[in-house]
Amino acid sequence: MNDQRQGKVPSVHDVARIADVSIGTVSRVINDSPGVKPATRQRVLAAIDELDYSPNLIARSMTSKRTGSIGVIVPFFTRPFFMEVLRAVEVTITQAGRELVLYNVQTNDQCDSYFRKLPKQRKVDGLLVISIFPDDAAAAGFKHAGMPVVLVDAYHPLLTSLVVDNIEGAYQAVKSLIEHGHRRIGFINGIIEGDFRFNRANDRLIGLHRAFGEAALLFEPELVLTAEWDRQGGRRAALQLLTRADRPTAIFAASDMHAIGVLEAARSLNIAVPTDLSLIGYDGIELSEIMELSTVQQPMKYMGELGVQKLIAQIEGSADGGSPPELIRLQPSLMMRRTITTLPPLNEATNT
């Protein structure tokens, strides 16, 4: 029925013409501002309906300086931990009627580039940064551009940060292993990727040290390995650990994916879990439940939800200088499942 058939999207002008009003009135109807006579409102509505008109959001962003989009910067988004955070993030953003722009980062450069450019490009109203520690320059850039930012599983003094006490989580895990009678405990840590920025590794090591210290256990550096954050990494490290003459009776892994790798290695070496080897993972991803893996559960869903909520609050209240940055601490919790057993009491003098 329409005369034009290709790529012509109607604008306020078209609506105005059809409804025989001015564009100002059309705009008022769209945003249901007060002071439009019901009759003309109806005419405009009819015209909108006839043309199947929707406002051009880009143009609207021009004047409103709001895009309705939230940028999510996340490293390796397909990894289970990030995935599960991201799921909660998506739900919360959609519920808020906003859109999610995904910035997946795999390298430091990529990350820096996003940190530097996104605040000024204005394609998003705010940035949710997951598991990445921005440096001072980046934080200053956000502030200077007035770009709202919330850090999830990361920290910077100038930015609202939502952190999980992973020192405590690792401490609890290792302590539990010790309480189950283990003395030779292997630790498979994740590598620190991209210099110091995607830092999920250090805290685990510190927690382990604390538990060791408290139990007056000797820390043996040979039992601490570093591996890629995936099951291949975990498997390789476990192979190395488990083929030692004095192999550990328990392994603590920095992530559940590492722990899955440990499981694979143990199977290939005919080492029964938990009979001959106890194992605790980290994160509490869904797969850990399928595999009945004991683990340290992070509140991933809550992190995602709360992070988005804080960010939206910041966006909507950003008329003034904004409220001061918050630091929110979350606690992980130890999930005891199938992969851990008490070691029969053997003569503990061996260790000295």
42 or 331: CB nearest DNA? 42
- Contact (Cβ atoms closer than 8 angstroms) between residue 84 and residue 69: no
Q: Which does residue 178 touch among its own copies, DNA, none (CB within 5 to 8 A, set by kind)?
A: none
Q: Which does residue 144 touch among its own copies, DNA, none (CB within 5 to 8 A, set by kind)?
A: its own copies
Minimal distance in Å, beta carbon 45 to DNA? 12
Query: Whole-angstrom Cα distance, residue 201 to residue 336?
Result: 22
| Contact pick of 42, 46, 49, 59 for DNA (by CB under 7 A) | 59
Size of the site for its own copies (CB under 8 A): 47
Region 89-128 residues binding DNA, contact defined as CB under 7 A? none
Q: Give the number of residues written for the chain.
A: 352
Strand order of the β-sheet with 295-297 is 224-227, 185-190, 250-253, 278-283, 295-297, 333-335
- Contact (Cβ atoms closer than 8 angstroms) between residue 104 and residue 127: no
| Contact pick of 46, 62, 145, 336 for DNA (by CB under 7 A) | 62
Q: Classify the C-alpha dihedral 195-154-208-232 as positive or negative.
A: negative
Instruction: For residue 81, give the nearest of 318, 295, 237 by alpha carbon.
Output: 295
260 or 296: CB nearest its own copies? 260
77 binds its own copies (CB under 8 A): yes
- Contact (Cβ atoms closer than 8 angstroms) between residue 234 and residue 259: yes
Q: What are phi and psi of 258, to 5 degrees?
A: -55, -45
- Contact (Cβ atoms closer than 8 angstroms) between residue 227 and residue 234: yes
| Contact pick of 23, 40, 50, 90 for its own copies (by CB under 8 A) | 90
**Element containing residue 282 per DSSP (H, E):** strand 278-283
Q: Record the tokens describing residue 90, joined without a space.
A: 């998506």
55 binds its own copies (CB under 8 A): yes
27 binds DNA (CB under 7 A): yes
Query: Whole-angstrom Cα distance, residue 31 to residue 208?
Result: 57
| Contact pick of 67, 199, 288, 297 for its own copies (by CB under 8 A) | 67
42 binds DNA (CB under 7 A): no
Q: Classify the C-alpha dihedral 331-161-108-110 as positive or negative.
A: positive
Q: What are phi and psi of 151, to 5 degrees?
A: -100, 130
Query: Which residue type does 352 have?
Result: T
* Binding-site string for its own copies from residue 170 to residue 209, where x marks contact by CB under 8 A and - marks none: ----------------------------------------
Task: Map tokens 């509490």 to a residue.
Answer: 284
| Contact pick of 24, 146, 213, 317 for DNA (by CB under 7 A) | 24
58 binds its own copies (CB under 8 A): yes
137 binds its own copies (CB under 8 A): no
* Binding-site string for its own copies from residue 8 to residue 37, where x marks contact by CB under 8 A and - marks none: xx----------------------------
Region 249-288 residues binding its own copies, contact defined as CB under 8 A? 260, 264, 287
Tell me the CB-side half-sphere exposure of residue 158, using CA atoms within 13 A.
Answer: 17
Residues that bind DNA (CB under 7 A): 9, 11-13, 20-25, 27-28, 30-31, 33-37, 39-41, 53-56, 59-60, 62-64
Residues that bind its own copies (CB under 8 A): 5-9, 52-59, 61-62, 67, 69, 77-78, 83-84, 86-87, 90, 94, 99-104, 117, 119-123, 144-146, 231, 260, 264, 287, 290, 318, 321
